[in-house]
Chains A and B, each alone.
Chain A
Amino acid sequence: MEKYKMHILICGGTGCRASASEAIQNNLQDALKAKGLEEEVQVVMTGCFGFCEKGPIVKILPDNTFYIEVKPEDAEEIIEEHIIKGRKVMRLLYTDPEKKEVVSDSKHMGFYKKQIRIALRNCGFINPENIDEYIATEGYAALGKCLAEMTPQAVIDEIKESGLRGRGGGGFPTGLKWEFASKNEADQKYVVCNADEGDPGAFMDRSILEGDPHSVLEAMAICGYTMGADKGVIYIRAEYPLAIERLKVAIKQAREYGLLGNDIMGSGFNFDVEMRYGAGAFVCGEETALIHSMEGLRGEPTVKPPFPAESGYNGKPTNVNNVETFANIPVIINKGAGWFNKIGTEKSTGTKVFALAGKINNVGLIEVPMGTTLREVIYEIGGGIKDGKKFKAVQTGGPSGGCLTEKHLDTPIDFDNLLAVGSMMGSGGMIVMDEDDCMVSVAKFYLDFTVEESCGKCTPCRVGNKRLYELLDKITEGKGTKEDLDLLRNLSTVIKDTSLCGLGQTSPNPVLSTIENFYDEYIAHVEEHKCPSGQCKALMQYVIDPELCVGCTLCARNCPVDCIAGDRKEAHIIDTAKCIKCGACMEKCKFNAISIQ
Chain B
Amino acid sequence: MAKVKSLADLKKIKEELHAKMDLREKSNDPEAQVQIKVGMATCGIASGAKEVMEFLIEATAKRGINSIVTQTGCMGYCYAEPTIEVTMPGKEPVVFGDVDLKKADEVIEKYIKQGELVDGIIPVNYKTIDNN
Contact = CB atoms under 8 A, between A and B. Distances in A.
Contacts of B6: 148, 265-266
Nearest to A145: B7
B30 A1 contact: no
B113 interface: no
A125 B130 CA distance: 24
Nearest to A148: B7
A61 B9 CA distance: 29
A140 B25 CA distance: 18
Nearest to A256: B1
B52 to A, nearest CB: 13
Contact of A102 (B13, B26, B130): B130
A108 B7 CA distance: 38
Contact of A265 (B7, B17, B30): B7
B132 A108 contact: yes
Contacts of B23: 4, 6-7, 61-62
Given A1-B19, A132-B17, A140 B4 contact: yes
Nearest to B129: A102
A1 B4 CA distance: 19
Given A7-B23, A102-B130, A105-B132, A258 B71 contact: no
A257 interface: yes
A258 B4 contact: yes
A84 B4 CA distance: 39
A266 B19 CA distance: 26
A137 B68 contact: no
Interface string B27-61: 11010000001001100000000000100010000
B17 A144 contact: no
B20 A86 contact: no
Nearest to B58: A3
Which of B10, B13, B14, B69 counts the most chain A CB atoms within 10 A?
Answer: B10
B57 A85 contact: no
A135 interface: yes
A136 B21 contact: yes
Given A64-B30, A256-B1, A258-B3, A137 B25 contact: yes
A289 interface: no
Contacts of B9: 265
Interface string A247-259: 0000000001111
A62 B70 contact: yes
Nearest to B37: A86
A137 B18 CA distance: 8
B4 A5 contact: no
A265 B18 CA distance: 20
A63 interface: yes
Contacts of A7: 23-24, 27
A568 interface: no
B62 interface: no
Contact of A61 (B7, B10, B17, B27): B27
A78 interface: no
Which of A86, A133, A137, A258 counts the most chain B CB atoms within 10 A?
Answer: A86
A85 B41 contact: yes
Interface in A120-135: 125-126, 132-133, 135
A1 B16 contact: yes
A86 B14 contact: no
Contacts of B30: 62-64, 105
A93 B17 CA distance: 31
Contact of A257 (B4, B18, B27): B4
B40 A86 contact: yes
A135 B14 contact: yes
A141 interface: yes
Interface in A61-82: 61-64
A292 to B, nearest CB: 36
Interface in A127-163: 132-133, 135-138, 140-141, 144-145, 147-149
Given A4-B20, A141-B14, 9 more contacts: A63-B68, A64-B30, A64-B132, A85-B40, A86-B37, A107-B28, A141-B11, A259-B4, A266-B6
17 contacts: A1-B17, A1-B19, A6-B70, A61-B27, A63-B68, A63-B70, A86-B72, A87-B72, A105-B30, A133-B20, A133-B21, A140-B10, A141-B11, A148-B6, A148-B7, A256-B3, A266-B5
Interface of B: 1, 3-7, 9-11, 13-14, 16-21, 23-28, 30, 37, 40-41, 53, 57, 68-73, 130, 132
Interface of A: 1-7, 9, 61-64, 84-88, 102, 104-105, 107-108, 125-126, 132-133, 135-138, 140-141, 144-145, 147-149, 256-259, 265-266
Q: Lowest 6 A-B CB distances belong to which pairs? A: A258-B3, A136-B17, A86-B72, A144-B7, A136-B21, A61-B27
